[in-house]
Chains A and B, each alone.
Chain A
Amino acid sequence: SQQGEEDPQALSIQEGENATMNCSYKTSINNLQWYRQNSGRGLVHLILIRSNEREKHSGRLRVTLDTSKKSSSLLITASRAADTASYFCAINTGGFKTIFGAGTRLFVKA
Chain B
Amino acid sequence: DAGITQSPRHKVTETGTPVTLRCHQTENHRYMYWYRQDPGHGLRLIHYSYGVKDTDKGEVSDGYSVSRSKTEDFLLTLESATSSQTSVYFCAISESMRSSYNSPLHFGNGTRLTVT
Which residues of A approach B to under 8 Å, CB–CB? 3, 30-31, 33, 35, 40-45, 48, 50, 88, 90, 92, 94-103
11 contacts between A and B (CB under 8 A): A42-B1, A42-B92, A43-B105, A88-B43, A90-B43, A92-B102, A94-B100, A97-B45, A97-B58, A98-B102, A102-B40
Number of residues on chain B facing chain A (CB within 8 A): 29
Q: Is there a chain A Cβ closer than 8 Å to B106's Cβ? A: yes
- Chain A residues whose CB sits within 8 angstroms of the CB of B34 once the complex forms: none
Give the tally of cross-chain contacts (CB within 8 A).
67
**Smallest CB–CB gap between A73 and chain B, Å?**
18
Taking A40-B109, A96-B48, A99-B45 as known contacts, 15 extra A-B pairs with beta carbons closer than 8 A to each other, sorted by chain A number, are: A31-B101, A41-B110, A42-B1, A42-B4, A42-B90, A42-B92, A42-B110, A48-B101, A92-B101, A94-B100, A96-B31, A97-B58, A100-B35, A102-B40, A103-B42
**Would you call B43 and A43 a contact (CB within 8 A)?**
yes
Q: List residues of B whose CB falls within 8 A of some A CB.
A: 1, 4, 31, 33, 35, 40-45, 48, 50, 56, 58-59, 90, 92, 97, 100-102, 104-110
Are the C-beta atoms of B104 and A48 separated by less than 8 Å? yes
Nearest A residue to B35 by beta-carbon distance?
A100
- Do the beta carbons of A101 and B42 come within 8 Å of each other? yes
Q: Report how far A33 CA is from B108 CA in the complex, Å.
A: 17
Please measure, in the bound complex, the distance between the C-alpha atom of A51 and the C-alpha atom of B45, giving whole angstroms: 22
User: Most B CB atoms within 10 A — which of A33, A50, A97?
Assistant: A97
